[in-house]
Structure 1
Amino acid sequence: MKNIWQNIPPWGKALLLILVWLYPIVVLVRTISQYNVRTESTFGWGLFVIVVVLFFYWKVAKKCNPIKEDDIRFTFIIHEPSRYEWSSLLGVVFTMLGAFLLSALIFDTTTTNQLAFINSFKSLTPMVAIPLLAGHALAAGVVEEITFRGILHNAMRSYTAWVRYMLVAVLFTFMHFLPMPLLIPYILVSLLLSHVAEKNKSIGVVLYAHFIVDLVIFLCLYEDVIIIGQLTSFHLVLGLSFVLSGLVLCFYGLYGVQIKPSKLSIHP
């Protein structure tokens, strides 16, 4: 089986991973959430089931995909935590939040499947909706980052870094079944996530950032803190500020210069 896998071209591996590896987990997570709602429970217990499913997904991904020296590692721990890694984490979070606000302002996002899915939780009580939304945000971070920034990125190691970034970005974007205007924002965000993961040789930073951003957006939409279609110039300024500050933080986190009394050391 290992020899068969090695002989499959990278684009073939990509399609197989998405169809056989990613979609079944997405369907399972949604099924757990829907069953939780149908049972008319007063609490979103599905969150804990989703966490167990994601843990086994992570274990299977590590077992089935041996990591080579220069590959991105499937770890939930931020590699060598320092102010650089935290700067990268905050930078990705701010950039993604800003991109979300700007996309909602510039393009028509009122008919996306993602928004319809979040709106379906508004009829639920906070004790049910919030844990389930947290579970979906966690699933998006874990499953998508392991699959795209981990497995798929490593499977395309025969290509140069930026070719891999672009191929992963295109597949990541089309997997979300977005309207055409949103393709470019998603591709740009995916390029940033891939570059951060590659520089850190770990999915830790981008996984946590992805989870935090999705959770914040889900909760803001659920609580009507942000109402798509009713955004103002304030949100435009906020979005631009988030993107600019996020990119600065990312640049510092990835290429920052640390000055010590005896020498000047450059973060990789």
Structure 2
Amino acid sequence: MSLAHAIAPHLPYLRRYARALTGTQGVGDKYVAAALEAIVADPGVYDASLSARVAIYKVFSRIWNSLPLNGRAEPRDIFDPADRRIEAITPLPRQAFLLTAVEGFDLDDAAEILNVGRSDVGDLVDEAGRQISEQVVTDVLVIEDEPFIAMDIESLVESLGHRVIGNARTHREAVAMVKARKPGLVLADIQLADGSSGLDAVNDILREMSVPVIFITAYPERLLTGERPEPTFLVTKPFRDDAVKAVISQALFFDSAAETPIRAAG
């Protein structure tokens, strides 16, 4: 198998990681492109003894951490609120948290990617959790037609200290709830009970207000198409509790409003 074919299946997920790490799709994609260019320029930076997924994330991590801006921990003169939030969580803990809780790497793989010890990754993840817990508390709308899944999501949201304003099972319910109470975050499935689309509901919501959106779906390939716009935050079903918690914290941390309309693959 060629190197290009080995890497290709992992690029949508690397792009997801890059977006969460940087806070925007455009900036994240630039870092992914830089990692691919580094491999083309010097194939030796790609460690073929590792799994393809670990190897490409390790190249990306090397690129990201090589820039002084991304490793800077001291206070800076910052005027953009999003930049202030980025500074609130230090770089290595943020990477360790995303790699383990969102990308699903175990501690050994995360340590390999970050070029640190296994125990160090655990310490970094704990530190990220402490820092993220200090972030803003908000009202959350859940759009999910499966009652038990909705209950699980609501429990996770409330365990982080946020308030659930309601669970919508259809497109119409979702839009009505948003008009009644403006949420600070939306968690949405893309297939709803009456055959309506959570994606369409989100796009209608975004025409009315700017709000971060997390898609929780069994069909991530419909949204991670490589075309723009895409959702910044996405969790795959069946989900892990810590993954959902991580993405909620990241969405509020970056306060990234989704673009509209978001397109799904046909």
TM range (shorter): under 0.3
Decide which structure has greater strand share.
Answer: 2
Decide which structure has greater helix share.
Answer: 1
